[in-house]
């Protein structure tokens, strides 16, 4: 968010727990590194550990999550 807080998509609840943990680590790493530089990825690994498998899952399946829609009922 614009005030420095973190926002997550509700769709992340549909991911495996390790992917959700990876996304949280990714966003926390952005508090220290506002980019995707090698220093950023080192921060992700420091927080989460080896992240390649979780990142790969998200790259492979992430777009599938957008087929789920939320519509509020009146």
Q: Counting Cβ atoms within 10 Å, is residue 18 exposed (0-12), middle (13-18) or buried (19+)?
A: middle
Domain that holds residue 27: 12-63
By the 10 Å C-beta count (0-12 exposed, 13-18 middle, 19+ buried), 28 is classed as middle
Specify if 19 maps to a domain.
Answer: yes
The reply to whether 73 falls in a domain is no
pLDDT of residue 4: 54
Assess if residue 34 is contained within a domain: yes
Q: Residue 1: what pLDDT?
A: 41
Mutual angle of helices 52-61 and 17-32, in 10-degree steps:
110
pLDDT at 2: 46
**pLDDT tens, the chain, 74 aa long:** 444 555 667 888 899 999 999 999 999 999 999 999 999 999 999 999 999 999 999 999 988 888 877 777 76
Domain membership flag for residue 70: no
What's the predicted TM-score (pTM) here? 0.79
CA distances (Å), origin 29, targets 35, 46, 71, 74 = 9, 9, 32, 39
On whether residue 4 sits in a domain, the answer given is no
What is the count of structural domains for the chain? 1
> Is residue 52 domain-resident?
yes
């Amino acid at each position: 968010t614009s005030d420095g807080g973190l926002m997550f998509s509700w769709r992340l609840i549909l991911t495996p727990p390790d992917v959700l943990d990876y996304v949280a680590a990714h966003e926390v790493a952005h508090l220290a590194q506002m980019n995707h530089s090698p220093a950023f990825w080192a921060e992700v690994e420091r927080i989460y550990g080896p992240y390649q498998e979780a990142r790969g899952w998200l790259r492979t399946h992430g777009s599938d999550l957008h087929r789920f829609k939320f519509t509020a009922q009146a």
